């Protein structure tokens, strides 16, 4: 990743958990032996982050009747990456996102969004973070994993401010109640956090795709290289002009298969015939 301050990202997440009065917790880190067994390379800067933090759990609701708590769970060792989740075969999602080795799933939300980070097959670098649904619409959420986590922290802190749920001074505040925050507090925070979190893709800039023949005829060498060898019915979206979240609605028959080029700068969708 470019300009990845892994230590700074770890501190950001740890501070966020400390500020949260128990609403946000961090999963234990992931050891190198486990990362070595993954089907994607894990660069050292990413390892620094993952050794310290294996995921982030954000409380979004809690039942008054039985205390059951729902979380948004950012899981840096997400089971989707192994092709199974909750006993179900998820290999379709691996292929939809470009195939094993080209990405790493990080998060599945309650709205059926699937979030992954691009992994460059040639260099092993971890790049932009993308989200797709069960269709042909997709969003580049952030230019990198740390930028995406910065966005998470910003949304959480805005929700703290909206609901008055942050510890006033994390350095001197009492430890959170072992039973966890009360349901009303969790629900208020969860609603506010959700509004800010979903705004990241609701306000994304729309990028119009071009056909593979148009890209091969373009003056831009990056587009020409990205389109080389693609079928004529493939579509490409150049995300380089957009600095924030970028949305692409590919006018293709469902389903399609996504790939990425130039470190995730160009998003490609190819019609996909499933056997």
Q: Could you tell me if residue 57 is inside a domain? A: yes
Q: To 10 degrees, what angle do helices 44-52 and 6-19 make? A: 20
pLDDT for residue 1: 39
* Cα–Cα dist 18/12, whole Å: 10
Give yes or no: residues 216 and 84 share one domain. Answer: no
| Distance from the first to the final alpha carbon of the chain | 36
Give yes or no: residues 17 and 38 share one domain. Answer: yes
Dihedral sign computed on CA atoms, order 26, 27, 32, 38? negative
Q: What is the pLDDT of residues 130-167, one digit of tens each?
A: 999 877 899 999 999 999 999 999 999 999 999 998 86
Give yes or no: residues 57 and 41 share one domain. Answer: yes
Domain that residue 210 falls in: 205-271
Specify the number of domains making up the chain.
2
Give yes or no: residues 90 and 198 share one domain. Answer: yes
Q: Could you tell me if residue 34 is inside a domain? A: yes
Q: Could you tell me if residue 216 is inside a domain? A: yes
Give yes or no: residues 30 and 153 share one domain. Answer: yes
Q: Strand, coil or helix: what is 164? A: coil
Question: Of 183, 202, 221, which residue constitutes the final position of a domain?
Answer: 202
Q: Are 156 and 192 in contact (CB under 8 A)?
A: no
Give yes or no: residues 112 and 131 share one domain. Answer: yes
Asked whether the predicted pLDDT for residue 76 surpasses 90, the reply is yes
Which residue from 24, 274, 16, 22 is spatially nearest to 150, judged by alpha carbons? Answer: 16
pLDDT for residue 87: 86
Q: Could you tell me if residue 240 is inside a domain? A: yes
pLDDT for residue 64: 78
- Mean pLDDT, residues 179-202 taken together: 90
Q: Could you tell me if residue 38 is inside a domain? A: yes
Q: Could you tell me if residue 154 is inside a domain? A: yes
Q: Could you tell me if residue 111 is inside a domain? A: yes
Q: Could you tell me if residue 1 is inside a domain? A: no
Give yes or no: residues 160 and 181 share one domain. Answer: yes
Q: H helices within the chain, ranges in order?
A: 6-19, 32-36, 44-52, 91-96, 145-163, 183-202, 212-216, 221-227
Give yes or no: residues 84 and 107 share one domain. Answer: yes
Asked whether the predicted pLDDT for residue 170 surpasses 70, the reply is no
pLDDT for residue 255: 85
pLDDT for residue 3: 57
Q: Are 193 and 181 in contact (CB under 8 A)?
A: no
pLDDT for residue 171: 61
Give yes or no: residues 84 and 181 share one domain. Answer: yes
Q: Are 166 and 20 in contact (CB under 8 A)?
A: yes
- Mean pLDDT, residues 251-259 taken together: 89
Question: Of 202, 229, 249, which residue constitutes the final position of a domain?
Answer: 202
Give yes or no: residues 141 and 85 share one domain. Answer: yes
Query: pLDDT averaged over the chain?
Result: 91
Question: Measured in whole angstroms, how far is the alpha carbon of residue 228 from the centre of its chain?
Answer: 28
| Lowest-confidence segment of 1-5, 96-100, 115-119 by average pLDDT | 1-5
Question: Of 202, 217, 240, which residue constitutes the final position of a domain?
Answer: 202
Q: How confident is the model at residue 4 (pLDDT cuts 50, 70, 90)?
A: confident
Give yes or no: residues 197 and 173 share one domain. Answer: yes
Check residue 272 and give left, alpha or beta (phi > 0: left; psi -120 to 50: alpha): beta
pLDDT for residue 177: 63
pLDDT for residue 175: 57
Give yes or no: residues 237 and 168 share one domain. Answer: no
Asked whether the predicted pLDDT for residue 111 surpasses 80, the reply is no
Asked whether the predicted pLDDT for residue 275 surpasses 70, the reply is no
Residues of the chain with pLDDT > 90, as a percent, come to 77
């Amino acid at each position: 990743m470019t300009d990845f301050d892994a230590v700074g990202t770890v501190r950001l997440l740890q501070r966020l958990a400390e500020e949260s009065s128990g609403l946000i917790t961090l999963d234990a880190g992931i050891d190198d032996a486990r990362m070595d067994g993954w089907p994607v390379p894990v660069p050292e800067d990413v390892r620094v982050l993952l050794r310290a933090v294996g995921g982030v759990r954000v409380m979004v609701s809690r039942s008054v009747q039985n205390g059951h708590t729902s979380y948004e769970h950012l899981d840096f060792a997400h089971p989707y990456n192994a092709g199974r989740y909750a006993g179900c075969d998820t290999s379709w999602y691996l292929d939809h996102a470009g195939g094993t080795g080209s990405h790493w799933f990080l998060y599945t939300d309650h709205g059926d969004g699937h979030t992954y980070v691009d992994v460059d097959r040639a260099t092993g670098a971890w790049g932009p973070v993308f989200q797709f649904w069960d269709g042909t619409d997709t969003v580049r959420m952030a230019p990198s994993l740390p930028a995406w986590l910065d966005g998470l922290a910003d949304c959480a802190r805005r929700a703290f401010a909206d609901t008055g749920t942050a510890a006033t001074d994390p350095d001197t505040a009492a430890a959170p109640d072992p039973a966890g925050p009360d349901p009303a507090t969790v629900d208020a925070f969860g609603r506010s956090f959700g509004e800010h979190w979903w705004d990241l893709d609701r306000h994304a800039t729309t990028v119009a795709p071009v056909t593979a023949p148009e890209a091969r005829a373009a003056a831009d060498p990056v587009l020409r290289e990205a389109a080389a060898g693609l079928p004529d019915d493939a579509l490409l979206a150049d995300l380089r002009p957009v600095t924030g979240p970028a949305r692409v609605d590919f006018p293709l028959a469902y389903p399609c298969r996504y790939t990425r080029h130039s470190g995730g700068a160009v998003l490609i969708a190819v019609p996909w015939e499933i056997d």
